[in-house]
Structures are given as C-alpha cells and as structure tokens.
Amino acid sequence: MQLNLFNAFRNSAEFNGILFYYNGSLTQNVIITMADSLKHRLEDESTHANPVKSRKLFSSFIEMAQNALHYSPASYSNKGEEKIGAIAVGISGDKFYIVCGNLIEKQYADRIREKIDPLLTMTIDEIKKAYREQLKNESHEADDEVSKGAGLGLLTIARDSSQPIEYSITDADCDADRDLAYFFLKATI
C-alpha cells in the first residue's frame, strides 16, 4: 500500500469515529484477542462507555464476529482453509456502532433476509419476547439445520441496539467457482 493511501485510510477512519477495525482470518482465538483489544480501547473512551452500554456493545460485537466465523464459507489460501471477515467499532455522537462484513453463499441470502427483515419493524418488547420464545424452542435443531444458534444471535443484536439494525447483501465476484455475496450488518448501541 502506498503511504498516501494508508494516510487517507487512517484519516477516514478517524473522521468516522472508528475505534477498532479488523479485516482478516477469523478464529475463536482471534475473536478473543479482538474483544480484549476493544476492551482496552474503550477504557480510553470512558466518557461513552457506561456499564450497560459496554455490556451491550460487547455482546453485539461477539455475536457479529461469531456469525462471521460460523457462516462465512471457507476460503483457501497458502495457510489452508480459513474464514475471513471484517469488523469495525466506532463512535458517532453519544452512540457506538458496530459494522461487520463477510462473504456468504448466495443460496442463504433469502434465508438471512427472512430472519432480519421482521426484526426491522419489531418493537424492543416484541424482540425480547421473540428472544425468550426462541430460548424455549426445543425443536429448533429439527426445524433449522443451518443455524448454529437458533437465530438468537440476531435477536441479541436487535435487542441490544438503540435503533433498528441495518444490513446489506451484495453480489461478490471474488470467486468464479462459487456463487458468493457480501453480507454487511450494522448495529448502533
């Protein structure tokens, strides 16, 4: 990367309130390290991080990173099979935001929309009720062979957000042998 491009990237991140940014291979250890790094970074931003907001921020951060880890198709590199994702945390006014992006197989795009779109119009009480009901759903594994968390991750993110979550699914032309799309998710805490 040219130094002037790196400087432009850094300036853009600072202008947009980015406190933390990661792009690359995702593993459980990477997520733990990111969470620890974010925790230390937030200590410097103590004016924005009250205990309730911090808990919601970390909860959503972990859920988003876990979603990227669990649902990204494996890419193949000289290191072998790996999951790739990007995540950023920033401040806008008195709120935090988290944006996560990863590749998905296009065959799951409609399924993701079906899970997220209802959340966009639900009240916080409706989201909390749906969360409690899903916790009690013992037939989830028989009903949904793809989801590893019964949809609780998206409900957690929606529950912790101070406004409706945002998402985008766009075509990705990065692998001619696979039908992939980019999935981006944003939560404001």
109: left (phi over 0), alpha (psi -120 to 50) or beta: alpha
Global pTM reads 0.87
Q: State pLDDT tens for residues 144-187.
A: 555 655 579 999 999 999 999 999 999 987 766 679 999 999 99
Q: pLDDT at position 143, please? A: 57
Residue 169 carries which side chain, given as an amino acid letter?
Answer: I
* DSSP for 18-81, written as a single string: EEEEEEEEE-HHHHHHHHHHHHHHHHTTTTT--HHHHHHHHHHHHHHHHHHHHHSPPEEETTEE
For 26-61, write each residue's pLDDT tens digit.
999 999 999 999 988 887 766 556 888 988 999 999
Model pLDDT, residue 189 = 95
Q: Which helix (H) or strand (E) holds 117?
A: helix 109-121
What domains appear along the chain, each with residue ranges and CATH number? 3-188 (3.30.565.10)
* Contact criterion met (CB below 8 Å) for 83 and 75: yes
